[in-house]
């Protein structure tokens, strides 16, 4: 079985510990590099050998999302997973719309990072249940009864195509 190659980009002090735990707990994952920024010497070379890049929100805050867009444009085969500090549906939706394959809370890294990396590597979109449930609940409140009515119409319309 081919190992999933990962680069973990984080300026957090705890990033080294997160990476060592990731590798120890997931023998199918091979950590290529742990740069503190996307502009650090050797980071882009490591990314050329990487299947999944995990980027911490603090790095994006420092370097801007344009750096992530350039990264994804330069390496179209690369799958990107972003860890965010706290739930924010705008950040989550924006990241997915810009080409990231997943978004997860930094607090979930210990429990779910290996699983998220595997899913993103398989081509799935990763949104942790907590993020997805909060987004769903927010949409349900905003849309109310109109949402249910439109959903029924959309499903009926969809059935005509199958």
The model's pLDDT over 111-132, given as tens digits with 9 standing for 90+, comes to 899 999 999 999 999 986 766 7
Contacts of 108 (CB under 8 A, 6+ apart): 128, 130
Give the pTM.
0.80
With H, G, I as helix, E, B as strand and everything else as coil, classify residue 100. Answer: coil
Taking 70 as the pLDDT cut, the residues of the chain under it are 128, 130-131, 139, 141-162
Domains of the chain, residue spans: 4-126, 128-162
Signed CA dihedral, 43, 45, 46, 48: sign only: positive
User: Torsions phi, psi of 153, nearest 5?
Assistant: -65, -45
pLDDT of 16 reads 72
Contact 93, 118 (CB under 8 A): no
Compute the distance between CA of residue 118 and CA of residue 96 in angstroms, rounded to an integer: 17
State in words which class domain 4-126 has. alpha beta
């Amino acid at each position: 079985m081919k190992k999933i190659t990962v680069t973990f980009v984080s300026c957090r002090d705890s990033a080294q510990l997160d990476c060592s735990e990731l590798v120890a707990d997931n023998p199918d994952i091979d950590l290529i590099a742990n740069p503190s920024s996307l502009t650090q010497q050797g980071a882009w070379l490591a990314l050329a050998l990487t299947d999944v890049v995990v980027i911490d929100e603090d790095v994006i805050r420092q370097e801007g999302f344009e750096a992530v867009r350039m990264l994804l444009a330069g390496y179209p085969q690369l799958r990107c997973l972003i860890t965010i500090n706290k739930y924010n549906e705008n950040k989550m939706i924006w990241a997915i719309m810009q080409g990231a394959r997943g978004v997860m809370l930094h607090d979930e890294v210990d429990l779910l990072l290996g699983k998220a990396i595997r899913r993103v590597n398989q081509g799935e979109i990763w949104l942790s249940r907590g993020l997805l449930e909060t987004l769903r609940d927010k949409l349900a409140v905003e849309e109310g009864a109109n949402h249910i009515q439109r959903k029924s119409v959309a499903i009926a319309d969809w059935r005509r195509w199958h």
